Amino acid sequence: MNAVAIGLDLVELDRFRLLYGAFDPDVLERVFTARELAFDGIDSERLIRLAARFAVKEAVLKTIGGLQDGIAWTDIELLSDGVSAPRVVVTGGARAAATALGILDWLVSVTHGTQSTAAVALATCANGK
């Protein structure tokens, strides 16, 4: 496995709260998949978990050249069961952009504090690419 690109994103929770804190289903469904929304539940930590997922989406986007025509936010999905390492699944336009760059997978790391959350995405390809 070889590294192809790295993306980093920081989400300020106050700003994220302004955009997504009302938990409007129409707004959330434009950015997050049904599986992402189902896992994040309804407790007080939901905003932080959604912000972390958003940071991962942004970090992955940076590895494929940013949000472009044909790529939807929901093309990038962070799957996490709260126990195992989180993993990224890409579909649609994001998958096409990644394939064009030789990207096969991502390693991601997410962290958060009281004011922000951050994510790093390391895009990888097969050896020899």
CATH of the domain at 96: 3.90.470.20
β-bridge partners, 89: 77
Can you give the pLDDT of all 129 residues of the chain as single tens digits? 798 999 999 999 999 999 998 889 999 999 999 999 987 667 778 999 999 999 999 999 999 999 889 999 999 999 987 788 889 999 999 999 999 999 999 999 999 999 999 999 999 997 655
Q: Quick one: pLDDT at residue 94?
A: 97
Determine the Cα–Cα distance for residues 54 and 9; give it in Å rounded to an integer. Answer: 9
Q: Quick one: pLDDT at residue 92?
A: 97
Domain count, the chain: 1
Q: Which domain holds residue 97?
A: 2-125
Q: Quick one: pLDDT at residue 127?
A: 67
